[in-house]
Amino acid sequence: MHPKFQHFIDGQSVSPQNGDWIDSINPATGAVWAQFARGNAADVAGAVRAANTACNRPDWRDDSANRSAVLHAIADHLDKNFEQLIEMEINDNGKRIREVRAQMAGLGGWYRHFAMALADMQVEKLSLDQPGVSAHLELMPFGVVGAITAWNSPLMIAAWKVAPALAAGNAVIIKPSEMASASSVVFAELLAPVVPNGLINVITGYGHEAGAAIVAADAVRKVTFTGSEIGGAKVAGTAAEHVKPVTLELGGKSPQIVFADANLENALNGVLSGIFLSNGQTCVAGSRLIIHNSIRDDFLRRLQSNLESLRYGDPLRDDTDIGPIANKPQFDKILAMLDRAKQAGADILAGGHKVTVEGFENGFFIAPTILQNVATDSEIWQEEVFGPVLCVNGFETTADAINMANDSHYGLAAGVWSSDAEFAKDVASRVHAGTVYINHYRSVSACAPVGGVKRSGYGRELGPNAIRDFMQEKAVWQGDAPMPDPYAQ
């Protein structure tokens, strides 16, 4: 029998009302390892009721000191117990243990940051342009927040939503991906001793069933979504019908621009980490390398030789460099895109095929792939692969490099590599992206906003406004002089 992961509602593990379950496949073995509750509208209704009650309790809604204390308790509890979450997530999405351990060890930090940021929030006095009145700004939580997450880093993505949403005084319903729900369920169960019932609920299931029901539920007043462009567009459509705001963190096709004067060792590490470290399954994957023609061949040779020594294997082992692709649909999608790229004439410098790994013959492994001379209007250059596929084109002039970088319907992140700091800043300001890294790549911090432009989404997570983004403004006016007779004027 496989372990069964139930919903988590109002502090309790709850079976799905329709009795249906979804199989979760371990991508390293290709075998079913667990089952998740297949949530429907009735399950969602229970979670919404619990969340709505929890967020309206005065000791939550009106007591920021209590909220800060709960967030600190979550952080402390995660610091002590995060090890329990590591294997769950790897069984679901196959990410290498060194990366997952680092993410889990850092989970508590996100909650601690927002506990402290909440303590620093001030009531704002408004300066009015009228005599006889004064006003101040009150910030109100939305109430119930729907937090819909993707499969690549379920608990880190959830932290970016749940921590500021709770700090703001909301209650949340997390809907993890149907491909990787185990860690979110165990996370909520683990925190039960330190989180008042109903504040963190988890409903598992498919997007078009459980996810859509959360977005449509009346009492859910804000939705924050991380996932694909197609999923995001559907969520935004449903949210629009029900008149509620959405934050969309979607995909990307992020460029890494390497200029001739760059420190090539740093740039090499940045490019490798940007596209191959998590098998390219990160939203900011630096999947388009735009490199000056004068250094291109040498740089690509060094990239290739770095890939040769990498070890495939069990993602649960510390000495594995390349684990499996997270799930079968994604594995099939990447291979199909590679086939079409080959047919379209892309030149394969490395990889480009699946890999059979001893002991994991049914696992979903793909070789890190470098494609050069890729037509800039081709599918593989323009569309997100979300896999270990780096496309390369050379440039001659700075204008060409920036035009190539911006010729994309995405705009999530970009890398700029140059030894000239002023020049690099100028390029950074001309690149269309929500985040630009100069001589660096792939870091995240609770202090810096994350989000996209164009079809990479809208709204931001993290950063200085993260808590306010989970609150609504109320202007409170105060008459300081007698109210005039309205007909006397």
Name the residues that contact ligand NAD, by CB under 6 A: 148-152, 157, 175-178, 206-208, 211-212, 215, 226-228, 231, 234-235, 249-252, 283, 384, 386, 412, 450
Alpha helices of 40-147 — where are they, by DSSP H?
Answer: 41-55, 58-61, 64-81, 83-93, 97-105, 107-119
Q: Which long-range contacts (CB under 8 A, 24 or more apart) does 128-134 make?
A: 131/481, 132/479, 132/480, 132/481, 133/477, 133/478, 133/479, 133/480, 133/481, 134/477, 134/478, 134/480
Asked about 249 being catalytic, the answer comes back as yes
Integer Cα distance of 284 and 300 in angstroms:
21
Nearer to ligand NAD, 44 or 71 (CB): 44
**CA proximity to 174, closest of 210, 140, 218:** 210
Q: Give the residue with the Cβ less far from ligand NAD, 289 or 450.
A: 450
Minimum CB–partner distance for residue 156 and ligand NAD (Å)? 9
SS3 205: coil
**Beta carbon of residue 154, minimum distance to ligand NAD (angstroms, whole number):** 9
Q: How far is the CB of 341 from ligand NAD (least distance, A)?
A: 18
- Smaller CB separation from ligand NAD, 88 or 291: 88
- Nearest alpha-carbon partner for 143 in 60, 66, 204: 60
CB of 61 to ligand NAD, least distance (A): 27
Q: Are 303 and 291 in contact (CB under 8 A)?
A: no
Query: Residue 141 CB, nearest distance to ligand NAD (Å)?
Result: 22
Nearest distance from C-beta of residue 9 to ligand NAD, angstroms: 17
Q: Which is nearer to ligand NAD, 314 or 461 (CB)?
A: 461
151 versus 395: smaller Cβ distance to ligand NAD: 151
Cβ proximity to ligand NAD: between 68 and 201 the closer is 201
Residues 6+ apart with CB under 8 A from 379: 337, 340, 341, 344
Dihedral of CA 287/288/291/297: which sign?
Answer: positive
Q: How far apart are CA 208 and CA 171, in angstroms?
A: 22
Which is the catalytic residue, given 283, 384, 391, 461? 283
HSE (side-chain half, CA atoms, 13 Å) at 427? 29
- Residue 44: which of 23, 14, 21 has the closest Cα? 14
Say whether 283 is catalytic: yes
Of residues 178, 209, 229, 249, which has the active-site annotation?
A: 249
* Closest of 467, 428, 425, 432 to residue 446, by C-alpha: 467
- Helices 97-105 and 83-93, axial angle in degrees (round to 10): 140
Q: Would you give the DSSP letter of residue 312?
A: B
Residues marked active site are found at 249, 283
